[in-house]
Amino acid sequence: MLGDASPETCRSYAYDLLRWFRVLWALDVGWEQVTEAEAVALVGWLRHARNPQRQRRPGGPQPGSVNPKTGKPRLRAGYAPATIAHNLTVVHGFYSFHMHFGRGPVLNPVPENRARRAALAHRSPLESRVQHRRGRLRPKMTVRQPRAMSDQQWEELFAQMGCARDRALMSCYVSSGARASELLGIELGDIDWTKGQLWVITKGTRARQPVPASPEALAYLATYLDETGLPPDGVPVWRTRRGEPRPLTYWAARRIIQRAVEKLDSNWTLHDLRHTAATRMARDPDLTLVEVQTILRHAHISTTELYTVVGLDDLVDKLAAHYSRPLQPTSWPTQYAADDIEAVFGAGK
């Protein structure tokens, strides 16, 4: 908090430290007497324990299985490698902070990765990322390709929206590419009807920045405001529909899309709407990659480049045409003699 991090970051760090202290309490070890052995116990427990936040209803889909409609894998029952890596980073930072004031153990219980430090030292942002070995206890991290909805999948999801608020909310998500929490915080003064843009508080910098909105999304938004009335000053536009109107929380917006995907037997999330908007923009020949980076407010263009990767689902039509074409017989230029071709490539070539 002294470093002016966002409240959400402080909250996630607090939960990771609570998990670490629960391990120390179970081992009956004080936080100032820990060694790398306690960090080993933390990682070993996280790699084998079940995550209570991922409990499923009996008879539901198998954890870790791939949804055949979306191609997205379902969450596994345990803790993800990113969660383990984040927990190790938090514990390492916690002891680095106290070691500066002469408190805690002499050595940090989480080992440092000297290869990573050497690879990233004095590296220009224009240079390609240097490969380095993983540090001890660090899990193997894989780059997950973003999953975007096709036009047909988006139409099926949008057809499940049963009110003007939900239709306006989904349209603003898929046209602006804003994050879930960013869009939920807009107020009436944050809507620029003439320029077709919305002003949001960016997640990382917490600066007030504009994001685009399609004319269709603004039309749905106008219909929603016409039905429910204009909100008071200082109150977000998105409100609940039952009981006394209250600002729509992230969990309530998440439940909107969950009800829709349960009917469709899919596993789309709110963040997939941002992936869909980013993929559509990145594949538009009239938009450059730098322009898409500006719209999505990515700090590094390498993050935007992930949306230019072509998936196998996008090549279905081309692969069908490829398999339907007959095999072309091998032919050689006429200036080569048949005996020379047979000597080099063998008989029957």
Q: Same structural domain for residues 93 and 174?
A: no
* Cα–Cα distance, 63 to 55 (Å, whole number): 9
Residue 130 lies in a domain: no
pLDDT digits (tens, 9 = 90+) for 24-81: 999 999 999 999 999 999 999 999 999 887 776 677 778 888 888 888 888 888 999 9
Alpha-carbon gap, residue 123 to 157, rounded angstroms? 44
In the predicted structure, residue 98 carries a pLDDT above the cut 90:
yes
Q: Distance between CA 200 and CA 234 in Å, rounded?
A: 14
Q: Which residues are catalytic?
A: 179, 203, 271, 274, 298, 307
Residue 344 has pLDDT above 70, yes or no: yes
Q: Is residue 328 part of a domain?
A: no
pLDDT for the residue 43? 96
| Residue 206 belongs to some domain of the structure | yes
How would residue 278 be classed by pLDDT, with cut points 50, 70 and 90?
very high
HSE-CB of 42 using CA atoms within 13 angstroms: 33
**CA–CA separation, 19 vs 23, rounded Å?**
7
C-beta of residue 155 within 8 angstroms of C-beta of residue 96? no
How many domains does the structure of the chain reveal?
2
Is the same domain home to 185 and 301?
A: yes
The confidence score (pLDDT) of residue 348 equals 56
**Whether residues 214 and 286 fall in one domain:** yes
Q: Are residues 102 and 155 in the same domain?
A: no
Whole-structure pTM value: 0.81
Claim to verify: residue 275 and residue 181 sit in the same structural domain = yes
- Residue 287 sits in a domain whose CATH number is 1.10.443.10
Q: Are residues 196 and 283 in the same domain?
A: yes
Residue 66 CA to residue 75 CA, distance in Å, equals 9
**Which of the four pLDDT bands, split at 50, 70 and 90, describes residue 125?**
low
pLDDT band at 114 (very low <50, low <70, confident <90, very high): confident
Q: Does pLDDT of 119 surpass 90?
A: no
67 belongs to a structural domain: yes
- Whether residues 156 and 290 share a domain: the answer is yes
pLDDT at 313 over 80: no
Give residue 271's pLDDT: 93
Q: Which residues, listed in sequence order, are joined to residue 239 by a DSSP beta bridge?
A: 247
Specify the range with the lowest mean pLDDT, choosing from 122-131, 227-236, 241-250.
122-131
Note whether residue 110 is domain-resident: yes
Q: In terms of domains, do 98 and 179 share one?
A: no
Task: Kindly report each contact of residues 153-160 with a partner whose C-beta sits within 8 Å and lies 24 or more positions away, as own/partner.
Answer: 153/69, 153/70, 153/266, 153/268, 154/276, 156/264, 157/257, 157/260, 157/261, 157/264, 157/266, 157/268, 160/259, 160/260, 160/263, 160/264
Where does a domain end: 63, 92, 115? 115
Burial group, residue 307, by CB count within 10 angstroms (0-12, 13-18, 19+): buried
* Residues 295 and 229 placed together within one structural domain of the fold: yes
Check whether 84 has a pLDDT greater than 90.
yes
Do 166 and 302 have their domain in common?
yes
Which residues does 238 contact at the CB level (< 8 Å), separation at least 6? Answer: 165, 169, 183, 184, 186, 247, 248, 253
The confidence score (pLDDT) of residue 289 equals 92
* Neighbour tally for 252: CB within 10 Å: 15
pLDDT confidence band for 323 (50 / 70 / 90): confident
Domain-embedded: residue 346: no
pLDDT at residue number 199: 95
pLDDT mean over 223-252 = 92
Share of the chain above pLDDT 70, in %: 94
pLDDT at 349 over 70: no
Do 46 and 111 share a structural domain?
Answer: yes
Q: Is residue 81 part of a domain?
A: yes
Instruction: List the beta bridge partners of residue 187.
Output: 236
Tokens 């988006």 — which residue?
A: 154
- Domain end residue (candidates: 93, 115, 137): 115
Is there a domain that residue 136 lies in? no
pLDDT at position 126 is 64
Q: Is the pLDDT of residue 328 over 80?
A: no
For residue 140, the one-letter residue type is K
Same domain, 178 and 110: no
Residue 282 belongs to domain spanning: 151-306
